């Protein structure tokens, strides 16, 4: 069976796999991790209202099945920024990844490559972008960076990413500062700098923490769209703007040169009280109007969520906590199982909606509840 195939339901349900559902993977991750690391993974900013709003938003949309459609087994295949995908899923650039498994993003990328999914490789990761790409060059195709600190460092990172064979950049634009994450504060949680400085150790600095500190230099002015556009000028790589929640910001990102928009509130980890990402997706999709591809990040927990996001205007979704939970539950094998369960449920939903594939999804597949 190839990574793009799925067994018939009777075979799938009786497969004898260790994890039968995504909830079981999440439970195993929680059991495997120290309490403070679990809180770091699962928590959000402030009172976590936005964290919970992300999930509530999916519940406000009901599916409208199309029966007797005559549609064959649906296809989950698609593409995003030129990358061919077995399903419309990318993994998020979550950093500090060695906290969840020693192999971190290397294991995620290997699982992604095996399952036909793409990785966004983090800047603040435990392993260098070179190591992650070497582990799985077919999956490690997008690299993240933050527009902050000195432009010289930012430009140097762009050049390094391009030189190592990455095909696109993911520019995280919603982090001029870290969110107010009270679980971490209560736990006095301060991870070893080694888990977020993999890229700077690889750069040959004798003091990677100092180099990382320069990147997040608070004496530097907060970046603007104009400054970002100038720093990206001449880059050979297309880029995504990650952290967009309004049509106005989507317009600004496209004007600055973005080829893709990631509708995201950082999984509820930045500004508590911000709206759910899914609630903002239709507004952003209208503003983009086909001029850029769109990803939805924040709140994806199951295959049905993927279908709802695509019906509301996304081309793909990005999973962070789910991928990290797979990693914590069973390393590379756990991440592969996350993908297989997502694909299986998505295939089932598409079949029951009477759609021939993920490209056939639109808002006619949904009805918004009155509440």
Phi, psi of 114 (to 5 degrees): -65, -30
The C-alpha atoms of residue 288 and residue 93 are separated, in whole angstroms, by 23
* Residue 266 bears catalytic tag: yes
Phi, psi of 216 (to 5 degrees): -100, 35
CA atoms within 13 A on the CB side of 184: 18
Going by C-beta distance under 8 Å and a sequence separation of 6 or more, which residues neighbour residue 13? 20
Catalytic residue among 101, 127, 146, 266: 266
> 312-332 burial, b if ≥16 CB within 10 A, otherwise e?
bbbbbbbbbbbbbbbbbbbbb
The C-alpha atoms of residue 166 and residue 135 are separated, in whole angstroms, by 13
Backbone φ/ψ region at 197: left (φ over 0), alpha (ψ -120 to 50), beta: alpha
Candidates 220, 208, 225, 210; CA nearest to 151 is: 220
Q: Which two tokens stand for residue 130?
A: 């070179």
Q: Which residues are catalytic?
A: 266
């Amino acid at each position: 069976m190839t990574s793009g195939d799925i067994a018939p339901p009777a075979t799938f349900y009786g497969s004898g796999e260790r994890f039968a559902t995504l909830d079981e993977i999440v439970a195993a991750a929680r059991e495997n991790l120290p309490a403070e690391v679990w809180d770091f993974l699962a928590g959000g900013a402030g009172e976590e209202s936005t964290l919970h709003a992300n999930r509530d938003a999916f519940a406000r949309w009901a599916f409208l099945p199309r029966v007797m459609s005559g549609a064959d087994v649906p296809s989950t295949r698609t593409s995003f920024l030129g990358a061919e995908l077995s399903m419309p899923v990318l993994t998020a650039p979550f950093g500090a990844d060695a906290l969840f498994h020693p192999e971190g993003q290397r294991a995620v990328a290997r699982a992604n490559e095996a399952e036909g999914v793409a990785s966004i490789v983090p800047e603040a990761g435990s392993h260098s972008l070179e190591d992650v790409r070497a582990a799985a060059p077919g999956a490690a195709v997008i690299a993240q960076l933050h527009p902050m600190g000195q432009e010289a460092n930012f430009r140097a990172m762009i050049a390094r990413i391009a030189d190592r064979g990455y095909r696109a950049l993911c520019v995280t634009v919603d982090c001029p500062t870290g969110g107010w994450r009270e679980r971490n504060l209560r736990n006095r949680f301060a991870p070893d700098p080694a888990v977020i400085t993999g890229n700077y150790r690889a750069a040959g600095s004798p003091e990677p923490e100092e180099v990382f500190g320069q990147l997040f230099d608070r004496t530097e002015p907060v970046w603007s769209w104009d400054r970002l556009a100038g720093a990206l000028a001449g880059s050979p790589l297309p880029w995504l703007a990650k952290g967009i929640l309004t049509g106005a910001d989507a317009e600004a990102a496209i004007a600055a040169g973005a080829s893709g928009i990631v509708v995201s509130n950082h999984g509820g980890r930045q500004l508590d009280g911000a709206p759910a990402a899914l609630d903002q997706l239709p507004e952003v999709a209208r503003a983009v109007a086909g001029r850029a591809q769109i990803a939805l990040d924040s709140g994806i927990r199951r295959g049905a969520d993927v279908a709802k996001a695509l019906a509301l205007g996304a081309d793909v979704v990005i999973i962070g906590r789910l991928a990290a939970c797979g990693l914590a539950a069973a390393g590379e094998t756990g991440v592969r199982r996350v993908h297989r369960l997502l694909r299986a449920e998505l295939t089932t939903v598409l079949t029951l909606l009477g759609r021939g594939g993920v490209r056939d999804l639109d808002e006619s597949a949904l009805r918004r509840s009155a509440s």
